[in-house]
């Protein structure tokens, strides 16, 4: 593959030049709203427009699994490379959220 058509991603996987340009152009929106890998989600769960989601799908940066979507690691590594958000500021939290502190439930205290 020539360097004119691909650019290396951090994980050693290749991101095509058009995909790399697209990631650079849309990194702020993706940093803010794309769910992180490991969580499955529906398009309606994110703040991303349908056209952005279609582009992500068509570029192979999100994949469908059992009727829901997930963000690929390749996509996430590209965001690390081309985005400007810190890792803890990136991605929308979808599904079950974790609590900041451990909460112990005691039986009988259902006031």
Confidence tier at 4 by pLDDT (50, 70, 90): very low
The answer to whether residues 24 and 13 touch, using CB atoms and an 8 Å cutoff, is no
pLDDT of residue 13: 60
SS (H, E, C) the chain: CCCCCEEECCCCCEEEHHHHHHHHHHHHHHHHHCCCCCCCECHHHCCCCHHHHHHHHHCCCEEEECCEEEECHHHHHHHHHHCCCCHHHCCCCCCCCCCCCCCCCCCCCCC
Residue 37 burial by Cβ neighbours in a 10 Å radius (0-12, 13-18, 19+): middle
Q: What is the pLDDT of residues 31-68, one digit of tens each?
A: 889 998 888 999 999 999 999 999 999 999 999 988 99
The pLDDT of residue 106 is above 90 = no
Q: Which residue has the higher pLDDT, 42 or 96?
A: 42
92-99 mean pLDDT = 45
Confidence at 108, pLDDT banded by 50, 70, 90: low
């Amino acid at each position: 593959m020539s360097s004119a058509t691909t650019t290396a991603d951090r994980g050693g996987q290749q991101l095509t030049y058009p995909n790399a340009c697209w990631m650079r152009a849309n990194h702020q929106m993706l940093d803010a709203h794309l769910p992180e890998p490991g969580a499955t989600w529906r398009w309606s769960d994110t703040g991303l427009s349908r056209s952005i989601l279609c582009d992500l799908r068509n570029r192979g940066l999100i994949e469908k699994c059992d009727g829901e979507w997930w963000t690929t690691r390749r996509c996430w590594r590209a965001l690390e490379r081309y985005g400007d958000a810190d890792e803890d500021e990136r991605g929308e939290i979808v599904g079950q959220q974790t609590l900041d502190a451990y909460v112990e439930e005691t039986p009988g205290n259902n006031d």
